[in-house]
Amino acid sequence: MSVTVVIGAGPSGLAAAHALVRAGRRVVVLEASTRVGGLSGSFDLAGFKVDYGPHRLHQAAGPEVLALYRTALGGALQVRARSGMVHVGGRRLPYPLSLLGIAKGLGLAEVARHGLSAVMARLRPPEGSHFGAEAARRLGRHAARVLYEPAARKVWGLAPEELDASLGQARVQKGGPLGVVRAALGRGGSFAGRRYFYPEGGFGALAEGLADGLRRAGGEVHCGAAAEGLVVERGRVRAVLVEGRELPAESVVATAPLPLLCAWTGRAEAAEGLDYRSLTLLYLVLARERGTTQDVHYFADEQLPANRLFEARNFLGGAGPAGRTVVGFDLPCAVGDAIWRASPEELTERVRPALERTGLAGVDILGAEVRRMATAYPLYRKGFAEVRERALNALSGVEGLYPLGRGALFVHDNVHHACAAGLAVGRLLAEGASSRVWRSRQKPYLETRIED
């Protein structure tokens, strides 16, 4: 029987493998890490299941993806109510938004300033095709200046003028002041966004359940098995290089970073200019039953290196050992910079101001652990889409190669988008569709769609 090798055991790769196994195909999944899930995985710390960031399964998922969730998780899919807090300087806004929360958090004078700025942006739209201009056109120059531009510089490490306008369209989700009001009233479809699904055993339980199901169905999932390259002969994939040996493959579904795939196929120049933002995750074990009542705190200030604080117990519905809790911080960075190189002790000192903002100053810290992701998020520099098209076109000339997932398609997405793309690839491959057919069907999966 011919073999399909899937590189990467994140949600998209596992969803593709799931579709292939159901179609009777032989599948081998290779995962470089010791656990499945990738950035959507979980691990054990101080008696808690902790995630690689504050992840959710959004209720916006389609029926096919919801069915996949239930296949992987059975009845262990819980509904949670969102409870976040946005910190902008000394101001605090509850998230999801509410009219009372906006008024109390900003104060009437600041609300009026934002409102006037948003109206003026409608009357005289800011010019420019970049993130900063797009944010200002949507919610006004004042919101762009105090909230979105500082956050963009911290998260992406670039000036707003260097970031593509499509990032603004995805990240500044409210198209104007009316959109903010509708969201605050729970209208316009935003009510569903106030609740989310979460696996009972931590977010990584989704990937773990999919992997277990694959094994039961006869598929293979190998952790600690890093793909090192591809063997391409006469324009076709023949094998995957793993630990110095060739693993024969009739087809390869690859979730590796797009520039790496181009390099593996001798097309490195096609992806020149594409890069990724890295992520350092710091976890602190606190001598306290619960840190805060919020599941996530968002920090817009550039002075605070952390982008978010998230608490495992709150995602787990209050479950966990007594007398302690675990909070995590995601700190955007670049490989080799000061944050990337910092020790747990150094990072703990860096996040102390964020602890103070959330009312956790002075709480005893029982332990600290750091995890790092080198290619966490595609970096949307201006003009990236043209380079991405060039790179994906180049890969489509390699028969039997199917790029998939956030890294290989170079797209910002949520887990339900990734799973939908994986199921689509699995179906196409099971039908015998060529790599060029997959290239012609990629467009819906290249659109940046972020539920937050």
Burial profile 219-242: b = 16 or more Cβ within 10 angstroms, e = fewer = bbbeeebebeebbbeeeebebbeb
**Are 165 and 239 in a shared domain?**
no
Average pLDDT over residues 272-277: 97
**Are 283 and 232 in a shared domain?**
no
**Are 171 and 287 in a shared domain?**
no
Q: How far is CA 164 from the centre of its chain?
A: 18
Yes or no: say if 370 and 206 are a contact pair by the CB < 8 Å rule. no
Which contiguous run of DSSP H or E holds residue 289? none
User: What's the whole-model pTM score?
Assistant: 0.94
Yes or no: say if 329 and 308 are a contact pair by the CB < 8 Å rule. yes
Yes or no: say if 33 and 223 are a contact pair by the CB < 8 Å rule. yes
Lowest mean per-residue pLDDT among 31-35, 66-70, 184-188, 411-415: 184-188
Evaluate whether residue 53 is within a structural domain: no
Evaluate whether residue 89 is within a structural domain: no
Evaluate whether residue 55 is within a structural domain: no
CATH code of the domain in which 366 resides: 3.90.660.20
CATH code of the domain in which 409 resides: 3.50.50.60
| CA distances in angstroms from 163 to 6, 400, 449, listed in the order given | 32, 34, 17
What pLDDT is recorded for position 322? 96
Strands 26-31 and 220-223: parallel
What pLDDT is recorded for position 1? 59
What pLDDT is recorded for position 101? 86
Mean pLDDT of the chain: 93
Residue at a domain's end among 189, 223, 240: 189
Q: What is the pLDDT of residues 306-365, one digit of tens each?
A: 999 999 999 999 999 999 999 999 999 999 999 999 999 999 999 999 999 999 999 999
Q: How far apart are CA 408 and CA 262, in angstroms?
A: 10
**Are 263 and 391 in a shared domain?**
yes
Higher-pLDDT residue of 449 and 229 is 229
Closest CA to 156 of 172, 164, 445, 140: 164
Count how many domains the chain has: 3
What pLDDT is recorded for position 190? 43
Evaluate whether residue 166 is within a structural domain: yes
Average pLDDT over residues 46-50: 96
Neighbours of 4 (CB within 10 A): 24
Evaluate whether residue 90 is within a structural domain: no
**Are 151 and 217 in a shared domain?**
no
**Are 211 and 162 in a shared domain?**
no
**Are 364 and 441 in a shared domain?**
no
Average pLDDT over residues 212-240: 97
Q: How far apart are CA 403 and CA 12, in angstroms?
A: 10
Residue 239 has pLDDT above 80, yes or no: yes
Evaluate whether residue 392 is within a structural domain: yes
Beginning with the edge strand found earlier in the chain, give each strand of the sheet holding 276-286 in spatial order.
91-95, 84-88, 296-299, 308-311, 325-333, 276-286, 365-378
Could you identify the residue written with the tokens 């709150």? 314
Q: What is the pLDDT of residues 139-194, one digit of tens each?
A: 999 999 999 999 999 999 999 999 999 998 887 865 565 666 555 556 544 444 68
Could you identify the residue written with the tokens 């992987």? 72
Average pLDDT over residues 201-207: 96
What pLDDT is recorded for position 191? 44
What pLDDT is recorded for position 189? 44
Burial profile 401-412: b = 16 or more Cβ within 10 angstroms, e = fewer = bbbbbbbbbbbb
Q: What is the pLDDT of residues 76-103, one digit of tens each?
A: 899 999 999 999 988 999 988 888 888 8
Q: What percent of the chain has pLDDT over 90?
A: 85
Evaluate whether residue 404 is within a structural domain: yes
**Are 322 and 392 in a shared domain?**
no
**What range defines the domain where residue 207 resides?**
3-45+60-80+199-273+381-446
**Are 74 and 27 in a shared domain?**
yes
**Are 284 and 264 in a shared domain?**
no
**Are 289 and 263 in a shared domain?**
no
3-state helix/strand/coil string of 109-121: HHHHHHHHHHHHH
Residue at a domain's end among 378, 396, 419: 378
Q: What is the pLDDT of residues 111-132, one digit of tens each?
A: 899 989 989 998 999 999 999 9
What pLDDT is recorded for position 102? 87
What pLDDT is recorded for position 219? 96
What pLDDT is recorded for position 184? 52
